[in-house]
Each structure stands twice: as C-alpha cells, then as structure tokens.
Amino acid sequence: MEDFSKIENALRVNFKNKDLLIQAFCHRSYLNENPTFRLHHNERLEFLGDAVLELITTEHLFNKYPDKPEGEMTGWRASLVNSNILSDLAKELHFEDYLLLSQGEKKEKGRARKYILADTFEAFIGALYLDQGYDACKNFIEKELIKRKLPEIIEKKLYKDPKSLFQEKSQEIISITPTYQVLEESGPDHMKKFIVGVFLDKEMVAEGKGSSKHEAELDAAQKALYAKDW
C-alpha cells in the first residue's frame, strides 16, 4: 500500500483520522480480494462527498456571479461536477497512485477507470468533510476544482451539449450542418458497442465510441470540436 502521507503533503491537507483518508481510496473490488482489511469501501463517503461538492459549487457560483441566470449556473455546475472533469482532476492530483483496487480492476483502464477516479474524488471530499468540516472542503474545492476548471468550462462552452455546440459552430463558421453515421456496431444486445462518425458534408471529422448511438455521437462531437479547434 502507498504511503498516504505523501498525498497529504501534495494536497496540503492533514487528516486527523488517517483511516478516513485511506477508506476514500478503497474500491469495493479491493475488499473482495482482501476480506480481512480493517476498513469499509468508499461508497458511503462518495454519497456524502457528492452532496458536499454540489452545495459548495452551487454556493460559489451563486455568490460569485450575482447577475447570471439560474439556467446558466446550472450548466456550469453540472460541468464542474461531471465524471469527466472530476476524473481528469483526480488524475492531475495523482489519486490514481493511491487507489486500492483488485488485481482485475488494476488492469482496467479507459472509461471504467475514469468512473472509479471520479467516485474516489467524491469520496475524498466526503472524508475531508467528516474529518475537517465544511470550510476545509470549501477551500479545497475552490482552489483545486473551481479555479482550475471553471475558466476552461466557460471559455470553451463545455457546459453545452457537445452535439449542440458542434452544430452551432459548424453552421456559424462554414454554414454546414453536421451529420452522424454508424460506422460499426458490435456486441450482444446487453453490451452493444457503437462507433459513429461525424461528417461535415463528405468529410469525416472524427469518430466516437459508446454503448449507445447517442453516447457515441456525443463522443464524436466532442472529438470533432477538438479536431477543428472550435
């Protein structure tokens, strides 16, 4: 097991109850292989952290942007606390080095790992709240999440649905409406995988993957925005 004092030093937090910190990184799968481990998995902490995270981001947006309508702030908040942003941030903060996972889960990368990292970030917030209270969570979330991620979300309009945003940009810049085409469909009914291409006229701009056509289209649109630097 990693030395958790290293992540405390890196994050500049010092847990009074070290077990709360370790539990935040303990995935359910770890206990399947280590049934005598003294701590529980992190799902209850994740449940608490999710609520704390939502309240603190809501309060920050409400106070910082008094002229913004509710709808716009809702979009910003949803972007700040979505699993992609949280997993990216958890990776930047090196949470991955401290995950307590089964041997099987350690080999899993991609989307499954992203969800685990996002959940772990929420569990960490839950642990921090229990250990040090609301103000410590507020300082951490404002410094590490909001200041790092909100400017990019606003500037790149990441709070908008990527399909809507790509359509808006392509119509505005080149007067073409994008179209989507399923390039590949595989797997049994309960585990379908789709690869979808997004086209501007006859040019395929990007491919997206997902477990549904809609998910694959959103992924393709997001990649197309990056490909076109829009």
Domain boundaries, the chain: 4-155, 162-227
pLDDT for 27: 96
Q: What is the mean pLDDT of the chain?
A: 92
pLDDT for 109: 80
pLDDT for 83: 79
pLDDT (average), residues 6-20: 96
Task: Give the model's confidence band at 205: pLDDT under 50 very low, under 70 low, under 90 confident, else very high.
Answer: very high
pLDDT in tens, 55-113: 999 999 999 999 999 888 888 998 898 878 899 999 999 999 999 999 989 988 877 88
Active-site pick, 105, 119, 122, 131: 122
pLDDT for 18: 96
Span 162-227: which CATH code? 3.30.160.20
φ/ψ region of 200 (left if φ > 0, alpha if ψ in -120 to 50, else beta) reads beta
pLDDT (average), residues 13-30: 97
Active site residue 122: yes
pLDDT for 199: 97
DSSP bridge partners of 182: 196
pLDDT for 175: 94
Active-site pick, 46, 50, 131, 219: 50
Active site residue 88: no
**H or E segment and range at residue 40:** none
What is the C-alpha separation between 132 and 138, in angstroms, rounded?
11
Q: Give the Cα-Cα-Cα angle 121, 95, 33 (nearest 5 degrees).
A: 90
Return the percentage of the chain with pLDDT > 90, whole number: 67
pLDDT for 219: 84
Q: Which CATH architecture has domain 4-155?
A: Orthogonal Bundle (1.10)
Task: Give the model's confidence band at 230: pLDDT under 50 very low, under 70 low, under 90 confident, else very high.
Answer: confident
pLDDT for 84: 80
pTM for this structure? 0.73
pLDDT in tens, 122-170: 999 999 999 999 999 999 999 999 999 999 888 887 787 788 889 989 9
Contact 214, 224 (CB under 8 A): no
Q: What are the distances in angstroms from CA 71 to CA 76, 78, 158, 184?
A: 9, 11, 14, 36
pLDDT for 159: 81
pLDDT (average), residues 20-43: 96
pLDDT for 192: 84
